[in-house]
Structure 1
């Protein structure tokens, strides 16, 4: 067999059916879409509709719930704090509050409070006062010679009263 003798098997390539090209084509006028209705219009994909078969979202069981009074914390890692101290954007000698973190640009907004997590290293001795902190973060800050005050979030304190 030579290169010029190569060809596809019969029926391997079929020409695309050109729809809406006159009555002689067999797919003229409505182009096989039927008459009127949602699916005759352009840009329609009925999400979740499986042609009458029970759709996937109804075959699967319902799970879980959303806690209505969930607290959402702004997360700050120790590595971030150290980077901002090194850059001179955060004063290590002054008390570092949640408002100071927002002002320095460490976080955008404090949400229901700021929670400090232990990712990264801290060398600066910071005096932090935040709404939450992990045990590892507290240990790391105290090991670096700093102090951390963990207060309850404002929302939680209001609910307790």
Structure 2
């Protein structure tokens, strides 16, 4: 059997309805569309999305900017400048920053931002970091490990 041999099952397809061919045909005059109203007029179907004059869905939905992300990642954000008070060769993690009092709340995994200067060599373990933060930590003689 080939694709061109495929046919619908016998009796599954109905012949098209011939409307407007007289009373005896059963669909004469108004063709089954009723007497009056928008749905009985010629050129009848309204355009897709038309809601009878009500502001349609495609105009109610916000467009382009400022869509909120559905599963947005929440990070505990910290700038590199805040790490300058720690002693050299300290291992910096989210827990150690909370113990040291540099951070007061945990809103998710630690993310380092590159604002400010850093002159102390530190061993940093963070979930994420910006390129400028990584560059400043390594320029100060420290190392950074991005956790998965």
TM interval, short-chain normalised: 0.5 to 0.7
Instruction: Judging by fraction of residues, say which structure has more helix.
Output: 1
Partner secondary structure for residue 100 of structure 1? helix
Rounded to whole Å, the distance in 2 between the matches of 1:100 and 1:62 is: 43
TM superposition shift of 1:61: 6.5
Structure 2: state its 5+ residue gaps. Answer: 1-58
Corresponding residue number in structure 2 for 1:102: 98
Larger radius of gyration: 2
Rounded to whole Å, the distance in 2 between the matches of 1:116 and 1:79 is: 10
Q: Please tell me whether the aligned partners of residues 76 and 106 of structure 1 are also in contact (alpha carbons under 8 angstroms).
A: no
Corresponding residue number in structure 2 for 1:147: 143
Corresponding residue number in structure 2 for 1:67: 69
Q: Please tell me whether the aligned partners of residues 114 and 132 of structure 2 are also in contact (alpha carbons under 8 angstroms).
A: yes
Aligned residues: 88
Corresponding residue number in structure 1 for 2:133: 137
Q: Please tell me whether the aligned partners of residues 79 and 115 of structure 2 are also in contact (alpha carbons under 8 angstroms).
A: yes
Q: Please tell me whether the aligned partners of residues 77 and 117 of structure 1 are also in contact (alpha carbons under 8 angstroms).
A: yes
CA RMSD of aligned residues (A): 2.0
TM-score of the superposition, structure 2-length normalised?
Answer: 0.53
Partner secondary structure for residue 141 of structure 1? helix
Rounded to whole Å, the distance in 2 between the matches of 1:95 and 1:81 is: 11
Corresponding residue number in structure 2 for 1:34: none
TM-score of the superposition, structure 1-length normalised?
Answer: 0.49
Corresponding residue number in structure 1 for 2:110: 114
Partner secondary structure for residue 88 of structure 2? coil
